[in-house]
A = this chain, B = another copy of it.
Amino acid sequence: MKELVMGFLGCGNVGGGVWKLLQGYADELDCRQHLTIRVKKVLVRSLNKQRSCDVPREILTDNPDDVLLDPEITLVAEFMGGEHPATEYMLKALENGKTVVTANKVALALNWHLLQAAAEKSGVGLYYEASVGGAIPIIGALTQSLQANRISSIMGIINGTTNYILSRMTENGEDYQAVLADAQKLGLAEPDPTSDVEGMDAAYKLSIMASLAFHTRVTYDKVYREGITKVTAADIAWGRKMGYVVKLLAVAKQEGNKVEVRVHPAFLPKEHPLAGVNGSFNAVYLYGHACKEMMLQGRGAGDMPTASAIVGDILQAVKAEGHYPYPTFANTAEPDPATVFDDNWTAKYFVRLSAADGTDALSYVAACFAKAHIAIEGMTQETAHGQAQMMLVTGEAKEQAVQSALSSLDPSLCTVENLIRIEA
């Protein structure tokens, strides 16, 4: 019988899930893998807080060194979240020869090079399946089963909060603010929802996935980012009429040494496999030169789905006789200088404009786009209360050309209300 002695950094929602999963799983581990897992110490901020899981009071500690320096502890699982002090704690654990399993996309995306260097130096493992997509085995797929592929494209719905909000706006025609308030009440959005609704959370995750898929460090600061706060019920309704569904999409593409990475609201044709991924579900759709189209879909958050990925990592770490070779790209803080980050990507564009009724804004806008050599595939106009609303959909066009055409429009003739990229 093998025994793993481990420590927790944090014991909130996810930590509680891991505790529950380990407890309920003990018998099966015992008889199937001849393994017992003992959680020796659990770092918490407050020793006296009420917890949803039944971690015994005597293994709680508020001193990180009780976990990080205990020589009996060989594996540390981190679910504190945030860059600091999680990064420092994980570094200390790794330096002290402990394998680290983490769900922390922020610390990993920002400090991958530091964490990996410490892991390599100690010859221990660094596992992070739970950092992207909750229970979805996307890290395992990218690093193992799909590793023979040259992956050219990833499109992900990797933030459950925004997907819940957009799904409800789509289903019920509700407004953003109303749904957000409700999501906050239901615990599906944070009291400060910025990281979710402004796309930071998705951008951290995209940085990790794109790095693994493209074998080059795609740092967080290279990810173009636009949140969902400007998406209106009107945009969604117009999109629907044209056969589109709106999603907060994380997109990464690679062609030769050119990489584009971006998080923004996007319209998808309603037949697209990602278009049906609703509510708090996550999904990653990718294309590899050998595997072709592939989609992984599941629960992207929540205590038990995240615990599923963490305990999977713990068991892999225990089984591994030698830890997997560390990806070499992650050794640097900066992207490979040979990688060119392209922010002039190609898409179709949905543009909503308003103008005073009676003006000939439609022909004016059409002329501006024609001058910029941007094809217009569809245009429609509606007038109400002395105000004209125009929707237009371009053909495939370059980001910069579209932005420059829109900024050339005379604001006294029409106002750009919103722009949503269309992916396929």
Number of copies: 2
Q: How far is the CA of A194 from the CA of B324 in the complex (A)?
A: 42
Instruction: Classify chain A: how many residues form its interface, as a range.
Output: 35 or more
Q: Which residues of B are found within 8 Å of A288, using beta-carbon distances? A: 135, 308
Looking at the assembled complex, report how far the CB atom of A125 sits from the nearest CB atom of chain B, in whole angstroms: 12
Q: Are B145 and A140 in contact, with the CB atoms below 8 A?
A: yes
Which segment of A158-166, A174-182, A291-299, A353-361 sits at the interface? A291-299
Would you list which residues of chain A between 256 and 281 have a CB under 8 Å from chain B?
273, 276, 281
Q: How far is the CA of A180 from the CA of B119 in the complex (A)?
A: 55
Given B33, B291, B316, which contacts A308 in the complex, CB threshold below 8 Å? B291
Q: How far is the CA of A145 from the CA of B308 in the complex (A)?
A: 8
Looking at the assembled complex, report how far the CB atom of A105 sits from the nearest CB atom of chain B, in whole angstroms: 16
Q: A291-B305, A292-B304 are in contact. Are A148 and B21 (CB under 8 A)?
A: yes
Q: Are B137 and A137 in contact, with the CB atoms below 8 A?
A: yes
Most interface-central of A32, A292, A321 (chain B CB within 10 A): A292
Q: Are B148 and A129 in contact, with the CB atoms below 8 A?
A: no
Q: Are B33 and A325 in contact, with the CB atoms below 8 A?
A: yes
Q: How far is the CA of A19 from the CA of B215 in the complex (A)?
A: 23
Given B129, B297, B315, which contacts A297 in the complex, CB threshold below 8 Å? B297
15 CB contacts below 8 A, A to B, read A21-B290, A25-B148, A135-B145, A144-B312, A145-B309, A145-B312, A148-B312, A148-B315, A276-B276, A290-B311, A291-B299, A291-B304, A294-B297, A295-B298, A320-B321
Q: Which 9 A-B pairs have the closest CB atoms?
A: A321-B322, A137-B145, A148-B311, A135-B291, A290-B308, A294-B298, A291-B308, A290-B304, A295-B297
